[in-house]
Structure 1
Amino acid sequence: MSNTAVSFKNVRKSFNGATNHAIDNLSFDIPEGEFVTILGTSGSGKTTTLKMVNRLIEPDAGEITVYNQSVEAFDVNQLRRKIGYVVQQIGLFPHYTIEKNIGAVPELLGWEKARITQRVQELMELVQLPYEEYATRFPRQLSGGQQQRVGVARALAANPDIMLLDEPFGAVDAITRKELQAQIKNLHQRLEKKTFLFVTHDINEAFALGTKVMIMREGNLDQFDTPENIIRQPKTAFVKQLLDTVYAEEEIWRKYR
């Protein structure tokens, strides 16, 4: 029986001035090793859900656990060092080399220099940025897609069991985005037992990457299942509407081929 990496039980969250809950009685379990994409329109609660896992946002009610331990039981900094976090605005340190950017968290954790260097070399190879060529470069010397790969490598540096990715490819061009999607999917498959939670508003991205897809609407969970099961049996009118947008786009492209 697989371990549960992340669990939400009756979680609620409201923000000041809002009439509705941003997250309303949300419950789900994510088994270890899944690549879960979180899909929904703006304001559906995707990013709020993601940020509650590493306590960037605190819930008003309910319980969130990571490997069966309440996130509230962790020191918040300790928790965040255990969970990789990648966002669209990559946030690399501009005056650090690529090697120093990737090694920042292990250095903070007190790793020995030789161990940090070995880990940086492994990760740069993993994200297809050869160490000899890129280690001494600075972020401004890389393309947007290369910077995103450095961001992923940095998030993986301390070998976290869970990776949170908040629309990481939203700011890059369509061709680069496709390449990064292929790389992140391959990366997950190579990293045994790593659990990825990936927020996106792009339905094609969600269904291409996710081993399971979580579809959110107005702080609630409309459906959480494999891509195949959702396509075959959409459970709500909203899910069906999302799928219909894909079918409509396919008709447009077929028309002009």
Structure 2
Amino acid sequence: MSNSAINFKHIQKTFGAETIIENLSFEVEAGEFITILGSSGSGKTTTLKMVNRLVEPDSGVIEINGQNIEQINLIELRRKIGYVVQQIGLFPHLTVEKNIATVPELLGWDKTKTQSRVKELMELVKLPYEEYSDRHPNQLSGGQQQRIGVARALAANPQIMLLDEPFGAVDAITRKELQKQIKLIHQELNGKTFLFVTHDINEAFYLGDKVMIMDKGKISQYDTPKNIIKNPETEFVKDLLDTIYEEESLWRMLK
């Protein structure tokens, strides 16, 4: 029996005369953490946005848990999917608690259940409820705001999380800490599927159970980090790996 959470079948997408995605097929199993790596224009964000139908493909089929997403009510589909972007988009006039509670309140959860969920999620992202619940976004650091963004996306307990370069706007030290935390969150949430877009090769290989490397709307390689490093399948992948080796060489020279 298939354990597929996301399945792309021969997806094509063009914008005007430009082909962004060309005959894209891949499968993500439930509970996997998949990173999508590529340079600007590779199609990685477009691929992510097609999962929750922010972008519609021109042809092909996308399935969530074995069901064609075109046959799922759009509101119902998006309730099953958490979405985190680089521009976090917290509501500035609402407290941290109210920001996280946005979707549960829209779904009509009672106050006790909603507050319990908010406390649980704030504990998960390491921002204690007693200390942070009454703060507003402008009273938080960039890294803290991003963690609240993750908590808000998880509030309705979605089975799939889409993350589009969520740590791209924070400093390097904060980014490393957030990477560790998101990896731990995925492990603690046993069974949830994460799709994480990045242009940072180190981030992709650190976080991903598998890495999907995209180039010009196609998959160059889709495998575990270990297998990609051992057996790069295309020149594009080899060139990506060379950038890591060059950085390592530079740091060795400077020691």
When normalised by structure 2's length, the TM-score is 0.99
Q: Report how far residue 146 of structure 1 moved.
A: 0.1
* Counterpart contact for 1:106–1:158, Cα < 8 Å: yes
Q: Is 1:116 aligned to residue 119 of structure 2?
A: no
Matches within 5 A, 1:1-257: 3-16=3-16, 18=17, 20-257=18-255
Count of paired positions: 255
CA distance in 1, matches of 2:141, 2:49: 27
CA distance in 2, matches of 1:138, 1:73: 39
- Residue 76 of structure 1: CA displacement? 1.2
Q: Using the alignment, how far apart are the partners of 1:208 and 1:76 within structure 2?
A: 33
Q: Secondary structure at the residue paired with 1:91?
A: coil
In 2, Cα distance between the equivalents of 1:255 and 1:153? Answer: 42
Instruction: Give the C-alpha shift of residue 74 in structure 1.
Output: 1.4
Question: What CA distance in whole angstroms lies between the structure 1 residues aligned with 2:4 and 2:90?
Answer: 31
CA contact (8 A) 1:44 1:218 kept: yes
Tell me by how many angstroms 1:175 deviates: 0.2
Give the partner amino acid of 1:7: N
Q: Distance in 2 between matches of 1:94 and 1:59?
A: 34
Find runs of 4+ consecutive structure 1 residues off by over 2 angstroms. Answer: none
Q: CA deviation at 1:2?
A: 5.7
Where in structure 2 are there 5+ consecutive unaligned residues? none
CA shift digits 1:71-90 (9 cap, x unpaired)? 11112122111100000000
Q: 1:13 touches 1:24 (CA, 8 Å); kept in 2? A: yes
Confirm or deny: 8 A CA contact 1:2 1:32 kept in the other structure.
no
Q: TM-score, normalised by structure 1?
A: 0.98
Instruction: Report the Cα distance in structure 1 between the residues aligned to 2:72 and 2:107, rounded to whole angstroms.
Output: 16
Alignment root-mean-square deviation, CA: 0.7
Residue 21 of structure 1: CA displacement?
A: 1.1
- Inter-partner Cα distance in structure 1 for 2:152 and 2:46: 22
Q: Residue 55 of structure 1: CA displacement?
A: 0.2
Deviations 1:30-57 (A, max 9, x none): 0011100000010000000000000000
Percent identity between matched residues is: 69
Instruction: Specify the SS of the correspondent of 1:248.
Output: helix
